[in-house]
Amino acid sequence: KEKTLAMIKPDGLLGNYTDEVKNVIINSGFIIFKEMILQLDEDRAASFYAEHSLKSFFPNLIKYMTSGPVLVMILEKENAVADWRALIGPTDSKKAKITHPHSIRALCGIDSGKNCVHGSDSPQSAQREISFFFQEESAGQAVIQHDEL
C-alpha cells in the first residue's frame, strides 16, 4: 500500500483539532502507520519547506511552523498521496470553506498561511518527507539495513 506524510500544524494542535482530524483519517480508510509529536526549529522548518525559500511568504511560514509542536503521521492506504491531498483541500482555507466545505482545511484552517494540515504533493515528496521525520522509513524503495550488508 502507498504511504504519505500528513502533518497537523501548530494551529491544528493548539486548536484541539487532533481528534477530529484523526477521525476523518480513520473514517476515510487510512491506517496511521506511525506518528510523532515534535517541535520544529527554524533550520528544520526551512529545510522541510526548502522549495519555498524564495517566496515572499517564507519568513511567515517559518514563524508559523515553529510557533508550537506539530503532529506528523505516516498514513497508509491505496492511493494515499492523492487521496490525502484531496481530503485536506486547497491551500487557502478561506477558499476551501467555499469550494471544498467538507475538506479538513475548511474545518480547521484560517487562511492561506494558517491552514492546519500538510500533505505530501507527490509520491516523490512523500518518500522525502517520510525519511525527513522517520529515519528508518522509506515510502517506496526498499532500504538495505546496515546489518544485512
Please give the annotated binding residues for ATP, written as ranges: 9, 57, 85, 91, 105, 115
Please list, in sequence order, all residues whose beta carbon lies within 8 angstroms of the beta carbon of residue 40, skipping any fewer than 6 positions away. 48, 65, 66, 70
Alpha carbons 102 and 99: distance in angstroms, whole number: 9
- CA distance to 3, 12, 14, 21, 147, per residue, from 8 (Å): 16, 6, 10, 8, 34
Write out the residues near ligand GTP by the rule CB under 6 A.
52, 57, 60-61, 91, 112-113, 115, 118-119, 121
- CA distance to 120, 121, 134, 136, 149, per residue, from 146 (Å): 28, 30, 17, 11, 6
Which cell numbers in the block locate residue 39? 517541535
Q: Which is nearer to ligand GTP, 17 or 142 (CB)?
A: 17
100: annotated active-site residue: no
Q: Which is nearer to ligand GTP, 77 or 109 (CB)?
A: 109
Task: State the DSSP H helix or E strand holding residue 93, giving kind and residue range, or none if neither.
Answer: helix 93-99
Please report how close the Cβ of residue 147 comes to ligand GTP at its closest, in angstroms. 35
- Whether the CB-CB separation of 71 and 34 falls below 8 Å is answered with no
Binding mask 93-132 for Mg ion (x = CB under 5 A): ----------------------------x-----------
From ligand GTP, Mg ion, none, interface partner of 60 (C-beta below 5 to 8 A by class) = ligand GTP
Please report how close the Cβ of residue 1 comes to ligand GTP at its closest, in angstroms. 21
Q: Which is nearer to ligand GTP, 34 or 94 (CB)?
A: 94
Interface residue list for Mg ion (CB under 5 A): 121
